[in-house]
Amino acid sequence: MIIEALALGGLGCLAAMGLGVAAKVFYVEVDPLVAAIEEALPGANCGGCGYAGCATAAGEIAKGNMAPNGCVGGGPTVAVAVAAIMGVAVSETEPEIAQVGCRYPLQRADLKYRYSGATDCRAAILLAGGPKECPVGCIGLGSCVQACPFDALSIGPDGLPVVDEYRCTGCGTCERTCPVGIMGLTSVSNRIMDEITVEDCSAPCQRRCPAGIDIPHQIKRTATGDYQGALAVIKERNPLPLICGRICPHPCETECRRNLADEAVAINPLKRFVADKERESGQRAMPYKAPATGKKVAVIGGGVEGLSTAYFLARLGHSPVIYEARDQLGGLLRTAIPPERLPREVLDWEIEGILAMGVEAKTGQTLGRDFDLGSLYDEGFDMAVLATGGWDAALMLGDPAQMTGMPGLELLLPLMLSWAQGHEVELGEKVVLVGGGKQTLAAARGCIERGAKEVTILWPTSEDTTGVSPEELEKAREEGIKMRFKATVIGLEGFGGRLSGLTYGQPANGHAAHQETLAVDTVIAASGRVPGAIFVPTSPRDEEGKLTGKAWHTVMPYAPPSGGPGGLFQADEAISDFRAAVEAIGAGRRAAASVHQLLNGDEVTAPQGMLARDTQVLTVDKVFNLVQAPERQPMPLADEAALLEGSSEAELGLSEQAAREEAKRCLNCGLICYYRTKYN
């Protein structure tokens, strides 16, 4: 008995010694920071953050590889607790939720392959050589639903994923799971910043809309009676639906796929219908705004582009202030469009809605007279955007000598008009003219006559395609006029309210483009419109973040690739006021998106694969088995007597019944898909 007890005791001692040695050998010191963070996390091990469990996530937060608010399952309370442990503050951010990028269900599609036996989307796409014909279509087996850790996804009755916005945490698991990329994360700001690319399942009408409205989504909501939802879709890309519903030339309808069967859907009247509904109710539906960033941006010009720029800046969380030379906002919408086409109370309602977003407006303020870039920086503005329009808008001011409002930047046509009327503009000694033809030569000679010592013309084309004969060019050289060919203006720079330099680029043989900066007093552009430039301060800031000087340079907002010469003074311009309005809305949104990139410390870049105007995308040129829907609903028109009295608009708008019937005609198109059965 004693021997057995001693044996057991010896074994116990040996085991204890072994455990002690193992503890020394395999001991892992627990970082108290990691332990504290893990304690604050919910312990759900859901994987929504992208890491394997809360313990791993805690380690990544401690290393700085994951943000303190990276726990998508814990919510704001956990984010605040983790941030306190890390010794940092958590600012309010805009939530993201899942988004389905396919609108046509699998069971209604023409299948190229059938996935017999496969129960997982990733497995199905590997069978039989690939997916169904559409490269982005939903495979429909619901792998995203199974992968979602928060039960925020389900397969709807049409076979497409449905997102529960209240359950979705924006973890991105569905996005990582989907093999064809139709699942993604979105937010209001993301959709404002988004551009249609070659990768998207976009409809022909949406691709052609200068504002980029998701037209099928808008019309689908209208068809179901969700008018506020339809208006919300429109206002994500267009802050002036009442106006565009009246004056837009609706190029979207030209591209409507229903034209292949009968007649386009009345897209523009449907836009007007939901916007009229809001105005008639008297209850303005305010769009979502991102959390405030504390950044101030001056928008110079209160026309369509300026209003749109300010609207989208406000929605992105910034604080825009519009400076308008006239006593009222609206630009050419107020001065050039007749009231029977655009009633002034409609214009005022739209402008009031933009101001209600937190946009401030200062009217009767002219750049170069009442303020300049230097004074804006003194007032604490982080950036400024020039959106003063073109020569047509400037002439409405009644003063041809004040075309752009910016000392040192002139437009060719108004400048020559002011000379003809006896008005003189201070040019300085160094003048650069950009673009044009024979008129540019005439203006260059006019500058020399008025005392300019150094005159340079930057031609965007080669020497033999300027439209000017070689003899005339040679004579101009003999007169002292310098010339650069295939020259693209990259940017301007200056100090306070004056220009001081212009940078241009020229192609070099097999090498990077040659760039040169010219000292300038005045730049004269043959372009019909003032460029929508962003003025970025270049002076350093002190310890309190205040600018120590008034130096600046311009940055161009990104734009759709056009195939033209490009540069700051682009040739592709909208001349018609009706056409220019909707294109100016798109330009204003891109300007706001570009400013947002700059304020976040990023470079201005267009999204990869952004559609150009001539981009070829997958589409169809015929429609088959289309069951005839009702004919297009006509727009009711005012009678002649009412128009003569001035008591009515020319077009009266669709009734609710007509709008619902018209919305049902939409084929809900994608790249190659479209609805082919009768609507309910």
Residue 370, in any domain of the structure: yes
pLDDT band of 401, cuts 50, 70, 90: very low
Q: Report whether pLDDT(431) > 80.
A: yes
What average pLDDT does the chain have?
Answer: 84
Q: Are residues 450 and 342 in the same domain?
A: no
Q: Are residues 519 and 535 in the same domain?
A: no
pLDDT for position 19 = 53
Closest CA to 140 of 169, 164, 113: 113
Q: Are residues 449 and 547 in the same domain?
A: no
Residue 41, in any domain of the structure: yes
pLDDT for position 540 = 86
Q: Are residues 522 and 544 in the same domain?
A: no
Residue 657, in any domain of the structure: no
pLDDT band of 22, cuts 50, 70, 90: low
Q: Which position has the token pair 């040659």?
A: 514
Q: Are residues 384 and 367 in the same domain?
A: yes
Q: Are residues 14 and 75 in the same domain?
A: no
Domain termination residue (choose one: 91, 107, 122) = 91
Helix, strand, coil percentages for the chain (3-state, nearest 5): 35, 15, 50
Q: Report whether pLDDT(430) > 50.
A: yes
Residue 473, in any domain of the structure: yes
Q: Report whether pLDDT(439) > 60.
A: yes
Q: Are residues 420 and 335 in the same domain?
A: no
Q: Are residues 483 and 426 in the same domain?
A: yes
pLDDT band of 220, cuts 50, 70, 90: very high
Give the CATH number for residue 340.
3.50.50.60
Query: How many domains does the chain contain in total?
Result: 4
Residue 641, in any domain of the structure: no
* Structure tokens that stand for 111 in this block: 């299948």
pLDDT band of 113, cuts 50, 70, 90: low
Residue 277, in any domain of the structure: no
CB of 672 within 8 A of CB of 134?
yes
Q: Which residue has the higher pLDDT, 580 or 148?
A: 148
Please report the beta strands in 577-645, taking only residues with DSSP state E, as ranges in sequence order. none
Q: Are residues 545 and 522 in the same domain?
A: no
Q: Are residues 26 and 37 in the same domain?
A: no
What backbone phi and psi angles, to 5 degrees, belong to 454?
-135, 115
CB of 561 within 8 A of CB of 469?
no
Q: Are residues 450 and 518 in the same domain?
A: yes
- Please count the other Cβ atoms lying within 10 Å of the Cβ belonging to residue 548: 10
Q: What percent of the chain has pLDDT over 90?
A: 43
Tell me the per-residue pLDDT of 631-673, one tens digit each, with 9 for 90 and over: 899 988 877 777 677 667 888 889 999 999 999 999 999 888 8
Closest CA to 536 of 562, 554, 520: 554
Q: Are residues 409 and 524 in the same domain?
A: yes
Query: What is the rounded average pLDDT of the residues 134-142?
Result: 85
| Least trusted range by pLDDT, from 84-88, 284-288, 556-560 | 84-88
Q: Report whether pLDDT(300) > 60.
A: yes
Tell me the per-residue pLDDT of 542-571, one tens digit each, with 9 for 90 and over: 887 788 888 999 998 988 876 655 677 764
Query: What is the rounded average pLDDT of the residues 177-181?
Result: 90
- Please count the other Cβ atoms lying within 10 Å of the Cβ belonging to residue 15: 10
pLDDT for position 53 = 74
pLDDT for position 680 = 40
Q: What percent of the chain has pLDDT over 70?
A: 85
pLDDT band of 573, cuts 50, 70, 90: very low
- Domain extent, residue 373, equals 289-389+531-615
Closest CA to 487 of 464, 514, 511, 467: 514
Residue 667, in any domain of the structure: no
